[in-house]
Amino acid sequence: MDKNEYLVARVGHIRLAVYCRDVENVFSGNYSLVKLFYQGDFFRGMTTINGQIMQVLDLRRRIGMEQCLKGEQLTLVSFNTGGSNSIAVVVDEILGMQRIESDSIITNEKYFDSRANNIGLLFPTVALMPSKCGVSKELIHILDSTYLDKTEPIIEEAGELELF
């Protein structure tokens, strides 16, 4: 596996890429979702796939797009979060794997503070890739899976050093 390889998906008109080592699996099918109360709008529910319980988040809602009603057929991308919980996101379509060179990745910090739900944290970088026709460049948003279910920056508190 190439260290510059990304899984590219589409959500509405947005193309997004996920570093392939962050992806646990891709599922497509009809899944029964159990909605939990008092969850955010972008939380679709819980489901069990292959014996594993997953939180399912809707990227359309997380980004602020209109909901697309296509029936119960879902395409899910699950992530290696390192914890006991597994998170999967709903995408419209998987476009395939793509190599993204590090020199085509740029920081997306210009509008971090002015976006709803800190959406800039979810897509901290973008890649400008040559389009298929080769005339212009295509923008691909690179997803940071840390902020799938968080809308506020993570602040680490080191605490104070105690002297004895």
CA dist., res. 100 & res. 19, Å (int): 10
SS3 content of the chain, % helix, strand, coil (to 5): 15, 45, 40
Query: Could you give the number of structural domains in the chain?
Result: 1
Indicate if the pLDDT at residue 16 is higher than 80: yes
| Domain CATH code at residue 45 | 2.40.50.180
- What separation in angstroms does the CA of 78 have from each of 37, 38, 102, 108, 159? 22, 23, 24, 24, 34
- For residue 157, tell me if it sits in a domain: no
Q: What is the distance between the alpha carbons of residues 125 and 108, in angstroms, rounded to a whole number?
A: 5
Please name the helix (run of DSSP H) or strand (run of DSSP E) that holds residue 122, with its range, or none: helix 119-122
Q: Give the model confidence (pLDDT) of 45-80 as tens digits.
A: 888 888 888 888 888 887 777 776 655 688 999 987
Q: Identify the domain containing residue 25 by its residue range.
A: 5-147
In a domain, 158, yes or no: no
